[in-house]
Amino acid sequence: MKSDLLIAVTQLAAERNLPQPVVVKAVEAALASAYKRDPAAQGQDVIVEMDPSDGEVTVRTVRHVVEEVEDPLMQLTEQEAQALQAGAVVGDMIETGQLEYNPGRIAAQTAKQVVMQRLREAERDIVFEEFIDKEGEVLTATIQRVESRWVTVDLGRAEAVMPPAEQSPFERYRPGQQLKFYVVQVGRTIRGPEIVVSRTHPDLLRRLFEVEVPEIFNGVIEIKAIAREPGARSKVAVASNQDGVDAVGACVGLRGIRIQNVVNELLGEKIDVIEWDEDPVKFISNSLSPAVVDRVELHEAEESATVYVPDRQLSLAIGREGQNARLAAKLTNWRIDIQGASQPVEVVAAAPAAAAVTPVADVVEKVDEKSTPTETGTGIAAKVEAAPAATAPAPAETAAPAAADSGPPVIKVGDLVRPVAQPAAKVVSTPAAPRVAAAKTRETAVDDGVDAELVALEKELAELELEEKTRKATEAAAMLDVSSDDLWQVDSGRGSASESAGSGGIRFAEDIAGFRETDAGRRGGRRGGSSARNRKRR
């Protein structure tokens, strides 16, 4: 039959979620501490043993065998021990007697305090042994409370803390939120085990990839390097240890499902998965993804690299506030200097024996307007300036403003402005001829073209002036037509105003007065009719 003490020990073990032997050891230590104060023990050391099957308790007094005795009541020398028990050596315990198990009220209170203390210590030890093996792992936990800048996380049987240095600046934590945490450290303190977790550690990203990508967990794909800015963006360099396995594709997954799960666990943090390469040039080029790199120049003595990218992708390679370049430098452990790929145009000198080719762009033509008296009253003089044939073509940035300032040559005759059609320059390949002769030939060709154009424009202008004069004379004749006699015909019968209006013209002032009195006059203007009626009344 079980004793009441054994039943109480079993219940206590169940409530504390502790193994029963641990609780039994705590009770034995508590009873031994209580019996040491009993006068019957006579100051000797007390050992209590409880049978786990029936709960029977045995209390014994013992003395320890030592080389030098400091407390005669609890210790004895080796010779004294051999007299009591043959073969006793230093370190043994010699049983000197037994005490009756009959604890009083004071002994029970003392035992209770000791039991609770021993149980707390046992719980701390169990928790420490449980989490010491999980250091470096990822655990799913719930945020319990947020105090100041410290976050307390509930791990079930224990509580963990997340200091401000391990918190992501882009995440907001609230009580009851369930997240994944990386266990950074498990330590033993006076208050129990201290567990520190993190949301910013780079290995958090590594463990999440191991969970989502089976190839990484099995060792087929290896994560070579990780560069992370928590909450914002990360870069992961992966390499395949097996032929035919795409490392980047395996990490991304079908339709990006694998990497999307990792991104969701990190609350939207962007992740770039790139391919690792032993060649630093290729590795640096891949690390600047998604930007395309033209070439990479390594400076091994300084452990730096100069990367040239197309001008249109320069901002993409650098990233917002330099984020892409900064992560690439962390990932590769190289100092990276990013520059645009545009270079000045190099001038290549031709060989002396080669044929001289004069492009059209080498000749700069400009026509200045000059007024000279001619038969038509206007005239034009063209001036052609030829640039040296050996002048190198200017870059596009320099040539464009020059063309805009000079513009095509124009001819102005009176108010008519018309551009001069440039004769097509003929590109010829000649031996090394004198520059002056070539310039004169081009100038003569341009002058002939300008003269022909001038003659045509003068002829066209004369025709336009003649047509304009004829049109204006016709319009003036139509407005001042005096050939009709009806306008000046006098009505000898001096009929009524209506008859005068129907005849086709107004002759005299009397007829005007009569016309205003008619209906047509009233409709034409009330002012005139009113004036006529006023004159009649007067």
pLDDT tops 90 at residue 390: no
Could you tell me which of 44, 51, 46, 23 has the C-alpha nearest to residue 35?
Answer: 46
When pLDDT is averaged across residues 26-52 and rounded to a whole number, the result is: 79
**CATH no. for 4-128:** 3.30.1480.10
Helix 323-332 and helix 280-287: axis angle, to 10°?
150
Return all residues near 285 (Cβ < 8 A) that are at least 6 apart.
293, 296, 307
pLDDT tier, 348 (very low <50, low <70, confident <90, very high otherwise): very low
pLDDT tier, 394 (very low <50, low <70, confident <90, very high otherwise): very low
> Tell me: the pLDDT tens digits for 161-178?
999 999 999 999 999 999
What the block records as the tokens of 139 is 């655990």
Could you tell me which of 113, 83, 81 has the C-alpha nearest to residue 94?
Answer: 81
> 424: which DSSP letter?
P
- Quick one: pLDDT at residue 72? 77
| Architecture (CATH level 2) of domain 285-343 | 2-Layer Sandwich (3.30)
- Does 290 sit behind a cis peptide bond, omega within 30 degrees of 0 on the bond before it? yes
Q: 202 exposed, middle or buried (CB, 10 Å; 0-12, 13-18, 19+)?
A: middle
- Quick one: pLDDT at residue 108? 67
Q: Which of 156-170, 366-380, 411-425 has the lowest mean pLDDT?
A: 366-380
Return all residues near 38 (Cβ < 8 A) that are at least 6 apart.
46, 99, 107
What the block records as the tokens of 470 is 């004829």
Instruction: For CATH 3.30.300.20, list the domain ranges present in the chain.
Output: 285-343
Instruction: For CATH 2.40.50.140, list the domain ranges present in the chain.
Output: 135-198
What the block records as the tokens of 143 is 């945020």
pLDDT tops 70 at residue 347: no
- Quick one: pLDDT at residue 329? 94
Distance CA 220, CA 280 (A): 23
Angle at 219 between CA 214 and CA 221, to 5 degrees: 75
- Quick one: pLDDT at residue 366? 38
> Tell me: the pLDDT tens digits for 255-280?
999 999 999 999 999 999 999 999 99
- Quick one: pLDDT at residue 141? 94
- CB-side neighbour CA atoms (13 Å) of 51: 9
Of residues 270 and 370, more confidently modeled: 270
Could you tell me which of 123, 121, 110 has the C-alpha nearest to residue 48?
Answer: 110
The number of helix segments (H) and strand segments (E) in the chain equals: 17, 19
CA 189 to chain centroid, in Å, comes to 43
pLDDT tops 50 at residue 482: no
Distance CA 41, CA 107 (A): 13
- Quick one: pLDDT at residue 121? 86
> Tell me: the pLDDT tens digits for 420-446?
444 444 444 434 444 444 444 444 544
Distance CA 52, CA 333 (A): 62
3-class SS at 59?
strand
Q: For residue 493, give the amino acid letter.
A: G
When pLDDT is averaged across residues 317-331 and rounded to a whole number, the result is: 93
Q: 135-198 belongs to which CATH class?
A: mainly beta
The CA–CA distances, whole Å, from 193 to 116, 167, 196, 302, 500 equal: 18, 21, 10, 46, 128
Q: Which of 130-134, 284-288, 364-368 has the lowest mean pLDDT?
A: 364-368
- Quick one: pLDDT at residue 379? 36
Instruction: For CATH 3.30.1480.10, list the domain ranges present in the chain.
Output: 4-128
